[in-house]
Amino acid sequence: MADDLGRRATRHAVVIGGSLAGLLAARVLAEHAEKVTVVERDRYPEGPDARPGVPQGRHLHVLIAGGQEAYDELLPGFTRELRELGAPKVGVPEDMVQWQNGKWMHRWPATVHFYSGSRPQLEWLVRRRVSADPRIELVEGHETVGLIGDSSRVRGVRLRERGAGAGKEPRVLEADLVVDASGRSTKAADWLAAIGAEAPHEETIDTGLAYSTRVYRAPAGALDSDTMGYFIVPNPGQEYGAVVLPVGDGTHLVTLSGLRGNEPPTEEGAFEEYAKRMPHPLISEWLAGAEPVSPVYGFRKTANIRRRYDRPGRRPAGFLATGDALCAFNPVYGQGMAVAAISAVALRRALADPKRTPTTRRVQRALLDASRQAWDVSTGADKKMPGAVGGADAPGVVDKAVGWYMGRLQERAAGDPVVGAAFRKAITLTAPMTVLFAPAVARAVLFGPVHATPAEPPLRRTDG
């Protein structure tokens, strides 16, 4: 690894956190370091099972198209293996009955696809591939309690075995590079302060959205539909959301969501009752014919949080942040697993750049840039929701113009195939946001009519 990240060839890199972002970062670092140690608080399950360190792991996860490309680049053949394990591949808009902005979407041929298998299954596949590298060591059941070094350079971490008690002296693990991939609840601000460095400024947008999930088994031909899933997308005028998707084992995950003050319940009977708040009885009718096979699981930590390590401050060399420890999104938009891989690809390219020395600041900026589009999509939608709070800047003239344009674009996305395809490319991170301003799209947005859409849920493809 280059001189400015280690002042010498990097012999040892430590990654704090062994979830997706940490494992994929380790995969990249192993191309440059003699050894990579991944420190994980949990004990990993042997198979594709849920674990406590991923509290949202029992909820719905999708691997969107932009993420698929990144996983295949980092772990060749990954999406093929995922499909072989039974993860459903869902085409949009063809395979979904979707309500958005007060309209049912036409079910035209799919322009993007996502995988809707379980999060534990996907993480297990990544862990199996990454841990097969002899340069990577997984240290389970240990938590990071601090950094070693000073405000100019990080030289390792302090670890303590979980359950050992605060009185036990932490173990010191020296490293030339430390990467924080410990998630949205990272303690990096405290770790940095303890060595005389400055914590990054945090930006937040929080709608107070909460969601609850339950696993169901539905009878064949439910609602006489050939769809793979249902999606009620909330908006500023309708704050309730619902998703029903298969996970590949004959069951479906059903997630209901609501904003602050109208959170969905975790009590079993109340879950089905809450579904009646949706703008159409479609979800309630589906639930009425399905068999619940799990408890109801709730999740509440959905704020968008971005930590600005790119801004000036007294921060040490040899310390990077990635994944949710750098930029965490409202999970309802399904971006987190994709951005974990996109960020690892950005890390690989920054470290291997033959034209620029990969300094800590430069690599950190590349990681932030990798998450920027997902941040813009997530916060752009959330800051319009009622009750949203956070440190967003007041919109300027350009922001207001873009907001006006985006409002027209979303009005037309359900009924115009050109606009809809561009919109899906942008939100699934398969094309830059500039795709929304391509000539054909701009003409339809600025001068085209708002086309008619289905009056009722298009339960069969021919209905759309």
Sorted by where each begins, the domain ranges of the chain are 3-61+122-205+302-380, 209-299
**β-sheet bridge partners, residue 390:** 205
- Choose which CATH entry (3.40.50.1000, 3.90.1150.10, 2.40.30.10, 3.50.50.60) describes domain 3-61+122-205+302-380: 3.50.50.60
166: confidence class by pLDDT, cuts 50, 70, 90: low
Per-residue pLDDT tens digits for 49-91 = 888 888 777 888 999 999 999 999 999 999 999 999 999 999 9
Q: Report the candidate in 58, 51, 67 with the shortest Cα–Cα distance to residue 18.
A: 51
**pLDDT value at 405 more than 80:** yes
Per-residue pLDDT tens digits for 288-310 = 999 999 999 999 989 999 999 99
Q: How far apart are CA 302 and CA 331, in angstroms?
A: 6
Common-topology check for domains 3-61+122-205+302-380 and 209-299: no
268: confidence class by pLDDT, cuts 50, 70, 90: confident
pLDDT (mean) for 163-187 = 90
pLDDT (mean) for 320-324 = 97
State the chain's mean pLDDT as an integer. 92
Q: Which DSSP symbol is given to 228?
A: S
| Residue 6 pLDDT | 40
Fold of 209-299: Alpha-Beta Plaits (3.30.70)
Core vs surface per residue 25-57: b (16+ CB within 10 A) or e: bbbbbbebbebbbbbbbbebeeebebbebbbbb
| Residue 7 pLDDT | 40
Q: How far apart are CA 298 and CA 256, in angstroms?
A: 10
**pLDDT value at 1 more than 50:** no
437: confidence class by pLDDT, cuts 50, 70, 90: very high
**Left if phi > 0, otherwise alpha if psi is -120 to 50, otherwise beta: which for 164?**
alpha
Among 47-51, 318-322, 360-364, the range scoring the smallest mean pLDDT is 47-51
Among 12-16, 235-239, 379-383, 460-464, the range scoring the smallest mean pLDDT is 460-464
| Residue 54 pLDDT | 81
| Residue 462 pLDDT | 63
